[in-house]
Homo-oligomer: A and B are copies of this chain.
Amino acid sequence: MVSVASIQQLFTPAFTVDIRKVKSNARKMTERCQTLGVQLRPHMKTHKTLECADIMTRGSQRCIVVSTLTEARFYADNGYDDILYAYPLPIDKVEACAELAERLEMFHVLVDSEVAVLELKRRRLRDKKSWLVWLKLDCNNGRAGVQPEDSKALVLAKFIADSEGMELAGVYAHCGNSYEATGVEEIQAVAQETTSATLKFVEKLEKAGVRRPRSSIGSTPSCSHPVSDMGRLNELHPGNYIFYDVQQLMIGSCQMDDIAVRVLTRVIGHYPHRNQLLVDCGWTGLSLHSLGKLPTGYAIIEGHPELKLVGMTQEHGKIESISGKLDFDKFPLGSLISLIPYHACATAAMHPVYYVHSEGKIIAEWRPTRGWLC
């Protein structure tokens, strides 16, 4: 447990979370969903902590999405319920899913293949419980899912709905292609396309005599700038919005002031002969996710638009001046530099502890769950 009072005193590198921004981001997303009249089912994959989950669920500890079974168990073990494991059901993990489905009131699984459905059918749940099965739709994102316009999608949905021991609980689309957008207009075009395709599929199901399942789409860009038709869905499931990051800023999902996380680092070396300084944050503290392609390199250096993080090795970061000579006197050895991460999910994933602060004063440490079933 940290014994220091302020983030300036932390050993570096350190991942910091501004609690006021987190709460503000949570509140705004909740309000957006309330305005639309849809349920918010926040995704836990960005932070993987109990404390942040409580903020995102406003203390209800219900109605969340997870990306791994380790997260599912972590939240289940800590009083959470109504957990959607929004991942194409890995057939080696059916038994682990069954354990959760039997333990919780609502544990939802997701499929996009007949094979997965058959595996679920082979494992009937105890006490006449039904598997709560969501069908993953691929609405032009090109990752997992059945294409809703493909006739096989309807066949698979009916197969789930008609199978004993399971229920077609919902249809689910991730508009990850909103990450290709720049600006609200492009984000909303993707949001609209995904929403329309999802709603059209649900209507097709109803026409085919299938009981209308719940419908959910998500991605931080689309849920940060929702289109009105999203009010016709049942749920939204964004995740990254709780922290935001430079990637979201560049897409247009958020403003700079919304980004709640930083990596604090300190100057550990001056190298005037090559106009560079070194800081004690490498890719273990930040990740390589920007690929160094930002105008400011691997991150934005808070308060120093003149600086560029040009390279990283395991524990070292190299910073230089974008143009002209670096003023080393401004950055004495030991001085703090604050990096705004490109991809908060990836940066958070590198840290076993998050230092949570309010106006720089440390108020908590959050410890995420990590890894996979073992």
Residues of A in contact with B (beta carbons under 8 Å apart): 2, 10-14, 45, 67-68, 87-93, 96, 112-113, 115-116, 138, 142-144, 147, 150, 176, 266, 268-271, 273-274, 278, 280, 283-285, 287-289, 291, 313-316, 318, 332-334, 345-346, 349-353, 365, 370-374
Structural contact, B370 and A352, CB atoms closer than 8 A:
yes
Chain B residue contacts of A266, Cβ below 8 A: 90-92
Structural contact, B314 and A67, CB atoms closer than 8 A:
yes
Query: Which of B68, B89, B91, B268 contacts A315 (CB under 8 A)?
Result: B68
Nearest CB of B to A299, in Å = 15
The answer for the CA separation of A60 and B241 in the assembled complex, in Å, is: 50
Nearest CB of B to A280, in Å = 5
Query: Which of B12, B289, B365 contacts A92 (CB under 8 A)?
Result: B12
Query: Which of B88, B268, B291, B352 contacts A291 (CB under 8 A)?
Result: B291
Structural contact, B11 and A269, CB atoms closer than 8 A:
no
Structural contact, B278 and A144, CB atoms closer than 8 A:
yes
List the number of copies, as a whole number: 2
The answer for the CA separation of A150 and B11 in the assembled complex, in Å, is: 32
The binding surface of chain A is classed by DSSP as loop
Q: Which of A12, A45, A374 has the most CB of B within 10 A?
A: A374
Structural contact, B280 and A90, CB atoms closer than 8 A:
yes
The answer for the CA separation of A138 and B276 in the assembled complex, in Å, is: 14
Q: Which residue of B lies closest to A67 (CB)?
A: B315
Chain B residue contacts of A115, Cβ below 8 A: 332-333
Query: Which of B45, B91, B270 contacts A113 (CB under 8 A)?
Result: B270
Query: Which of B11, B87, B116, B372 contacts A14 (CB under 8 A)?
Result: B372
Question: What 10 pairs between A and B have smallest CB-CB spacing?
Answer: A11-B373, A352-B371, A91-B334, A88-B268, A115-B333, A88-B269, A67-B315, A90-B268, A352-B370, A90-B280
